[in-house]
Chain A
Amino acid sequence: MTWLLVLAGGMLGAPLRYLTDRAVQARHATGFPWGTFTANMAGSVLLGFLTGAALSSHALLFLGTGLCGALTTYSTFSYETLALARGGAGLQAAANALGSVLAGLGAAYVGLTLAQAF
């Protein structure tokens, strides 16, 4: 049962990230990976909220481990950062790396604060 919950959450989260990335990247003309950034921030807010809310362990496996885990990604984030650096956009690479990490932590706090407000 727990495996199925994680599987189902992952099967929702990954295509949601793919669609988010496509939608965001189609709306700006720069090479900056705003799509992955958006998915990572959305997932971090949501997971911060979920861990702050009193959820059942089953709900956490489905929404947290599965959905938020697959909605967000470290592999694409690091690959896109490397691609920026290799393409000569060192400043953007550094901004993406540090900005994502700091904003992600901020996003987790936003989610936790929201959970405590409800």
Chain B
Amino acid sequence: MQHDPDTAAASRQKPHQASVLAAVALGGGIGAVARHAASRAWPTAMDAFPWTTLCVNVVGCALIGILMVTVTETGRRVPPLVRPFLGTGVLGGFTTFSTYAVDVQHLIERGHPATALTYLAGTLAAALAAVWLASAATRKALGVPV
């Protein structure tokens, strides 16, 4: 055990800020492209319920639950760029809050307040349920004490 690491040891353990930024950027680009692919594969009509964005956000929330338990709660050594690349980058870039907010706004503006409210509340409830269930299931599967 090293209680007072010298700077060389510390810099070996902690990735350089530039490599973290590069990992986040690369992951963010991949995540955004994956989200765009989903919206191309399952396009949503103008006044319809935005199912594709809802599914993208809920899947991303489930995956971050799995990732964060695996990376931060198991005590295993995980390469230091895994979390910035997969969590902040890929999943952060895959899920979107701005499209969610603007889609709610458009539904209201175009005269569909009930759909807007259902989408607003439904995404929030499904996203929170997804991250909660996925992290709980991952703890159980990996034998992490709750």
Most interface-central of B31, B33, B102, B104 (chain A CB within 10 A)? B102
Contacts of A44 in B (CB 8 A): 97-98, 101-102
CB neighbors of B among A12-40 (8 A): 12-15, 17-19, 40
CA distance A19 to B18 in the complex (A): 12
Find out whether the CB atom of B100 lies under 8 angstroms from the CB atom of A78: no
Find out whether the CB atom of A43 lies under 8 angstroms from the CB atom of B92: no
Find out whether the CB atom of A14 lies under 8 angstroms from the CB atom of B92: yes
Find out whether the CB atom of B28 lies under 8 angstroms from the CB atom of A15: yes
**Contact A14-B89, Cβ < 8 Å, known A65-B36, A70-B28, A74-B57:** yes
Contacts of A72 in B (CB 8 A): 96-99
Most interface-central of B35, B36, B57, B68 (chain A CB within 10 A)? B36
**Contact A78-B130, Cβ < 8 Å, known A51-B102, A69-B96:** yes
CB neighbors of B among A69-117 (8 A): 69-79, 81-82, 97, 100-101, 104-105, 107-109, 112
Contacts of A104 in B (CB 8 A): 97-98, 100-101
Residue positions of B touching A, CB distance < 8 A: 20-21, 24-33, 35-36, 39, 57, 60-61, 63-65, 68, 84, 87-89, 91-102, 104-106, 120, 123-124, 127-128, 130-132, 135
Residue positions of A touching B, CB distance < 8 A: 2-3, 6-15, 17-19, 40, 43-44, 46-48, 51, 61, 64-66, 68-79, 81-82, 97, 100-101, 104-105, 107-109, 112
Checking A69, A79, A81 against B99 with a beta-carbon cut-off of 8 angstroms, the contacting residue is A69
CA distance A18 to B105 in the complex (A): 26
Contacts of A78 in B (CB 8 A): 61, 64, 127-128, 130-131
**Contact A17-B33, Cβ < 8 Å, known A74-B97, A108-B101:** no
CA distance A109 to B106 in the complex (A): 10
Q: Give the distance to chain B from A64, nearest Cβ to Cβ, in Å.
A: 8
Contacts of B100 in A (CB 8 A): 74, 104
Q: Give the distance to chain A from B139, nearest Cβ to Cβ, in Å.
A: 11
Find out whether the CB atom of B29 lies under 8 angstroms from the CB atom of A8: yes
